[in-house]
Structure 1
Amino acid sequence: MDHGFTLEEIHEMLDAVDRSLSRLRGANLYTKRMPISFITDGVSVIYDLDSAGVLGSIGISNTIANKLKNLDGTLQANVMIASLDRVKSYLRRIESEFGGADHKSEEDDRIFELDTIMDRHPPEPVPVWAEQWVYVRPQSRAKAIIAEISELLDEVALLVKSSNLPEEQAALTDLDRAQLIALLETALLMLRAPLVEPGLLKKLQKAATDGASKTVQKGAEQAMGDGLRLLGNRLLDLIQWLVG
């Protein structure tokens, strides 16, 4: 990877990310929205990666990356943690290029593995009954809900891809996770269009609700479950508006 960092710089960045992660986890913030300034150490690393042209290599979307670079903005704490965990995993990967001891953990390997989950588990065909394509007026209440859901889709997709648990301990099987990611990313693309199809949203709403329930049943991936639960509720609001 052509990043241009020295080993000393990588270690300094790892320390900075760890400080922000410790602050987030120590405060037990869960899904609470926090100012980006709460994790200034981690944000400084994100700026360094962006300046080096490698920010796109850590596995977060441009939308979330831009939020993390806005010190005047806010973001849910669980999304901050998922993003910084990915930054940390990336730094450990490039640290290993210098030889010596490999400090990558099983959690780092799991995050890297989930980035290719749909290649290893191509989603099966999803039966969706297309009801109608509904035009959403730019100034309507539905358009505001869509804007909120679009942000949630981006954030929840990151949480779904960021489990550090092995499959047998995770709330979702890898196959279910791949199917959910496919639905999330497809819905995100659809909601950018002027016409919206409720059938796909109903399928995703059920998948999000079921996924949230599984996190409770398994007692795992609470951050993902909280995001899925919120997404399911907002999707229901939108569906009711579209078919009402």
Structure 2
Amino acid sequence: MTDPGFSLEEIHEMLDGIERSLSRLKAANLYDKLMPISYIPEAYLVHVELDLHGVLHSIGLNQSVANKLKNIDAKLRAPVMIAALSRTRSYLRMLESEFGGNKSSAEHFEQDHAIQETVEANPPQPIQVWAEQWVYVKQGSRAKQIISDVSELLDEAVLLAKTTNLPEDQAALTDIERAQLIAILETTLAVLKAPMLEPGLLKKTARLATEIAEKTAKKNAEEALGMGLRFMAKKLWELLSGFV
């Protein structure tokens, strides 16, 4: 891990800023509302500082989410903000522990490792996809904009899936289901970066996202993840409507 060179006092100041922003978010009952980064100015300054020291990538946030956190004019859904700030807090606590503080402060980083171990021990079943056609996506086209929107929703869904604090018996997904979902979402995200798309995989992902969203609704758990997956599936079908 890159050493950002912060003093213990600087780390404590950044932790205080993240806590103030988190407290404001959690006290407002914002549900799934799209919120401006200006609503969390303390966290914005922390992420700018982390970026200036070249360690914003060390938090484990996806690129689109990280970029928005350091852009005062950007917006994120409230649950995504909370999940992202929780990961930043864990990162700062991990830095704090290097000065002799809490040694059990890297929960999200340990969780990421556990997810990877789970998916390696229980890989997703092979996905049967009938190759329909490979479609080139023109730069500047409407499809490109939709792909950008879908990619952001995928980033958010991966973040929300990784940062649940619920025990397995209360969560919407088992640990195996969660790890496999993340693997499929990250695969779809990688595919969307290619110059050509094959609709079969995107259809599978859209259907899976809808199924998981319905499961979160039935269990009354991880509603933010379910809502994000539902938005993503809707955008995927919008993208596919231009190809089929």
Can you list the C-alpha shifts for 1:74-97, whole angstroms capped at 9, x where unaligned?
222221111100001111122122
**In the comparison of the two structures, how many residue pairs are matched?**
239
Distance (Å, rounded) in 2 between the aligned partners of 1:145 and 1:192? 12
Distance (Å, rounded) in 2 between the aligned partners of 1:140 and 1:94? 44
Letter in 1 for 2:118: R
What does 1:33-44 align with in structure 2 at a 5 Å threshold?
Answer: 33-44=34-45
How far has the Cα of 1:218 moved from its partner?
1.9
Partner of 1:64: 65
Structure 1 31/190 Cα, relative in aligned 2: closer, same or farther at 3 Å?
A: same
Q: 2:117 aligns with which of 107, 116, 119?
A: 119
Partner of 2:170: 169
Distance (Å, rounded) in 2 between the aligned partners of 1:62 and 1:235? 20
Distance (Å, rounded) in 2 between the aligned partners of 1:242 and 1:114? 38
- Which segments of 5 or more consecutive residues in structure 2 lack a partner in the other structure? none
Partner of 1:130: 131
8 Å contact kept, 2:151–2:192: yes
How far has the Cα of 1:102 moved from its partner?
4.6
**Secondary structure of the equivalent of 2:169?**
coil
What does 1:24-103 align with in structure 2 at a 5 Å threshold?
Answer: 24-102=25-103
Structure 1 114/133 Cα, relative in aligned 2: closer, same or farther at 3 Å?
A: farther
**Secondary structure of the equivalent of 1:115?**
helix
Deviates more, 1:56-65 or 1:120-129: 120-129
Letter in 2 for 1:73: A
What does 1:223-234 align with in structure 2 at a 5 Å threshold?
Answer: 223-234=224-235
**Secondary structure of the equivalent of 1:121?**
helix
What does 1:186-201 align with in structure 2 at a 5 Å threshold?
Answer: 186-201=187-202
How far has the Cα of 1:103 moved from its partner?
6.6
Q: TM-score, normalised by structure 2?
A: 0.90
Distance (Å, rounded) in 1 between the aligned partners of 2:118 and 2:17? 34
Q: TM-score, normalised by structure 1?
A: 0.90
**Secondary structure of the equivalent of 1:130?**
coil
Distance (Å, rounded) in 1 between the aligned partners of 2:40 and 2:136? 40
Alignment of 1:237 with 2:238, yes or no, is yes
Structure 1 100/177 Cα, relative in aligned 2: closer, same or farther at 3 Å?
A: closer
Distance (Å, rounded) in 1 between the aligned partners of 2:196 and 2:95? 43
Letter in 2 for 1:70: N
Distance (Å, rounded) in 2 between the aligned partners of 1:65 and 1:216? 28
Letter in 2 for 1:65: A
**Secondary structure of the equivalent of 1:144?**
helix
Distance (Å, rounded) in 2 between the aligned partners of 1:195 and 1:28? 41
**Secondary structure of the equivalent of 1:75?**
strand
